[in-house]
Amino acid sequence: MSADQLIARLEQIGTEFQQAIRPLADEQAIRAAQAQLLGKHGRVSEVMKEIPRLPPADRPRVGAAVNRIKTEIEDQVARRLRELADTAARADLARTVDVTLPARPVGGGHLHLLTQVRLEAVQIFAELGFVVAEGPQIETDWHTFEALGTPKDHPARDMQDTFYLSDEIVLRSHTSPVQIRTMQIQAPPIRIVAPGHVFRRDDDTTHSPMFTQLEGLAVDEGIAFTDLKGVLIHFVSRFFARDLTVRFRPSYFPFVEPGAEVDMQCSFCMGASAGCRLCKGTGWLEIGGSGMVDPTVFGHVGIDAERYTGFAFGMGLERMAMLRNGVDNIKFYYEGDLRFLEQF
């Protein structure tokens, strides 16, 4: 082939390429088309292979044409890519966002039923002038038992058998040690409630090894059993949002005298049905223990028992929520199953 024929072919390649890339709309396809010409076995490379066969005087002309066509092809590629980028940018700018669309709902959590119940209970007592007190869950044997009239050989310990970390340190089995800690640092008048976790060697559908109690203590001059009754009747009516009767059943706790179990009227059958499963046909549900602070307890914390009297009570919060919200197995509270938790 002559030099002129080769140059004509190069020019034809350039023209064809210009038409070939016009409809191409993505970079990958454009680069592939470019490689078909300029690649190792591309059409331009084939022409270059002919150059050594030409008379030496013609070679520079054809070489120059090759360079021109290569540059032209590269310019065309750059131009087409720029056009594509401009079109994409224009389309991007022309996009409109409808800000009037309602936002997608964000899945929010809520407080655990037991936390709700604790906060509600504290709120009701706060309205009566009680403030929240706290104590450690790992407690001394003295605060948990001894100071509450329950020495090491006392049979009442059996009912609250707990986890001993050593002879003198226990996981508290009730919130009553907070009574002792409060009276050790505060002089009467005292009005506290102490919610918190407690631990016992119990395990069935209504008893858990870890559960929550709410302790109450009021100490002042002239506090009487009627004050205790009034406070608890008020609490039960507020918490259950119904006029429910409360009954005090004589009972024994080593740190109160007299002592009483607190029962409330069955919130399910209202005491009317002898066959009610919840109250086992009795019409009453036990919610906690209570009584007047025993003078020997005052002796342990340096409060003058001749001048002051007080009442105390302790309730199980799981029990309160079971009765009010119809939970029939205490384990549901702790399993973290959303099918349960989302109901409350």
Residues at the site binding ligand FA5, with contacts judged by CB under 6 A: 174, 176, 200, 202, 207-208, 211, 213, 253, 256, 259, 286-291, 312-316, 318-319, 330
Minimum CB–partner distance for residue 100 and ligand FA5 (Å)? 52
Minimum CB–partner distance for residue 193 and ligand FA5 (Å)? 11
* Partners of 292 in the β-ladder: 311
Report the residue number, 124 or 315, with the smaller CB distance to ligand FA5: 315
CB atoms within 10 A of CB 1: 12
* Partners of 286 in the β-ladder: 263
CB atoms within 10 A of CB 188: 18
Residue nearest to ligand FA5 (CB): 316
Minimum CB–partner distance for residue 154 and ligand FA5 (Å)? 14
Report the residue number, 14 or 149, with the smaller CB distance to ligand FA5: 149
Give the integer Cα–Cα distance in Å for 344 and 262: 26
Report the residue number, 38 or 278, with the smaller CB distance to ligand FA5: 278
Half-sphere exposure of 46 (CA within 13 A, CB side): 10
3-state SS string for 287-307: EEEEEEECHHHHHHHCCCCCC
Minimum CB–partner distance for residue 219 and ligand FA5 (Å)? 13
Give the integer Cα–Cα distance in Å for 160 and 172: 9
* Contact between residue 141 and residue 168 where contact means Cβ atoms under 8 Å apart: yes
Minimum CB–partner distance for residue 313 and ligand FA5 (Å)? 5
CB atoms within 10 A of CB 216: 26
Report the residue number, 30 or 261, with the smaller CB distance to ligand FA5: 261
Element (H, E) at 240: helix 225-240
Report the residue number, 135 or 288, with the smaller CB distance to ligand FA5: 288
Nearest 5 degrees, angle CA 229-CA 234-CA 236? 95
* Partners of 191 in the β-ladder: 218
Minimum CB–partner distance for residue 209 and ligand FA5 (Å)? 7
Report the residue number, 153 or 158, with the smaller CB distance to ligand FA5: 158
Give the integer Cα–Cα distance in Å for 205 and 160: 18
Report the residue number, 202 or 227, with the smaller CB distance to ligand FA5: 202
Report the residue number, 206 or 273, with the smaller CB distance to ligand FA5: 206
Minimum CB–partner distance for residue 290 and ligand FA5 (Å)? 5
Tokens representing residue 160 in the block: 């609250």
Nearby residues of 251 by Cβ (< 8 Å), 6 or more positions away: 259, 260, 261, 289
Minimum CB–partner distance for residue 137 and ligand FA5 (Å)? 14
Element (H, E) at 286: strand 284-293
* Contact between residue 221 and residue 213 where contact means Cβ atoms under 8 Å apart: no
Phi-psi region at 154: left, alpha or beta (left = phi > 0; alpha = psi -120 to 50): beta
Minimum CB–partner distance for residue 98 and ligand FA5 (Å)? 54
Report the residue number, 213 or 309, with the smaller CB distance to ligand FA5: 213
